[in-house]
Homo-oligomer: A and B are copies of this chain.
Amino acid sequence: MDSNKEHKKTIKGINPAFTKGSKLQKKQPLDITILANDIIAGNHTALSKGITLVESTVLKHQEQAQLLIEKCLAHANASIRIGITGVPGVGKSTFIESFGSYLTGIGKKVAVLAVDPSSSLSHGSILGDKTRMSELSQDKNAFIRPSASGDSLGGVARKTREAIILCEAAGFDTIIIETVGVGQSETVVHSMVDFFLLLKLAGAGDELQGIKRGIIEMADTIVINKADGKNERPARLAKTAFAKALHLYPPKDSSWTPKVSTCSALEHKGISEIWKDILSYKTLTQENGYFISKRHEQNTYWLLQTIENSLKENFYRDPVVKERLPILLEQLSKNTISPFIAARELLALRKNDH
């Protein structure tokens, strides 16, 4: 640690890229070894810069980012990764602020990242503004980063997943990944976290209506937020309804029985109980081997996913494919061609093209 600090002191003067916030300076060459060491030493500015590198679409930056991740990898992984989802209005920011502050209060280092596929369109619909979590954003043991933007959910997801590695290398032991629940974002977040938390509000009657398909099955815990004031009773009723519903689902591979609880993020009630549940989950799955096997599976999934996305992108980007595909889709909709014949034609076109 001392040598790291020393190192930082020395380079501060000679590496201006380091001192100028998280923006990547065009003129000064970025020393990836120095940046990696600074991240590993826990420097937040360096971490921000690293994530900016990971998110950059510039080819050179992408190469540097891979080098950076390689250097950080050995220092990552000693963490719990928690996914948090819920519809807009459920109070995700307030919950994360309350939950995160509780965690830093008990000595945890908390990084908050987000997967928001809509943010590239709406210029940041979640976590775009740190004032949303004003307390946590000023906490020295917390690090909040808005969602990466990108032209595909896969792209946003890749960047978030690489950002996780950097955060872990920087010493953050609790990684919270927020999702807005647009499109397939929950599935993507689920595939990069250890524990998945679904935030809900008490409503009247059919509690499960309006929840996207499959979300309930992903949840390791369901937390009914805003259980305060006159909402307390409806929240308790909702808790019972969800507990019954969960009972209908098949057991999870993790052997974990999903929990349902109520909380008031506003009044900081029920927060410590949620953390206790997460710790119980961690203990159980570390003992039965699920925790580590799930991370391995996720890694393999991401390897194959990255390859397949790249193969598809290259294929559909091909000018001959671009020209022919809409014509075949038109024929397909008129039922004058079978999907298999159309596919064969496109594949053959591409082959001849190369």
- Chain A residues packing against B (C-beta within 8 Å): 66, 69-70, 73-74, 76-77, 158, 161-162, 165, 206, 208-214, 217, 245, 247-250, 296, 299-304, 306-308, 310-312, 315, 328-329, 332-333, 335-344, 346-347, 354
Contact = CB atoms under 8 A, between A and B. Distances in A.
Contacts of A213: 214, 217, 249-250
A303 B342 contact: yes
Given A296-B332, A299-B333, A329-B300, A250 B212 contact: yes
Count copies of this chain in the complex. Answer: 2
B338 A209 contact: no
Contacts of A296: 332-333
A300 B339 contact: yes
A343 B306 contact: yes
B162 A340 contact: yes
Contacts of A333: 296, 299
A66 B344 contact: yes
Given A206-B247, A206-B248, A247-B206, A339 B306 contact: yes
B340 A302 contact: yes
Contacts of A337: 70, 73
11 contacts: A66-B340, A74-B335, A161-B339, A213-B250, A296-B332, A299-B333, A299-B339, A303-B332, A303-B339, A306-B344, A311-B315
Contacts of A340: 66, 69, 158, 161-162, 302-303, 306
Given A74-B336, A158-B340, A303-B343, 11 more contacts: A69-B341, A161-B339, A206-B248, A208-B250, A213-B214, A300-B332, A300-B339, A302-B339, A306-B340, A307-B343, A311-B315
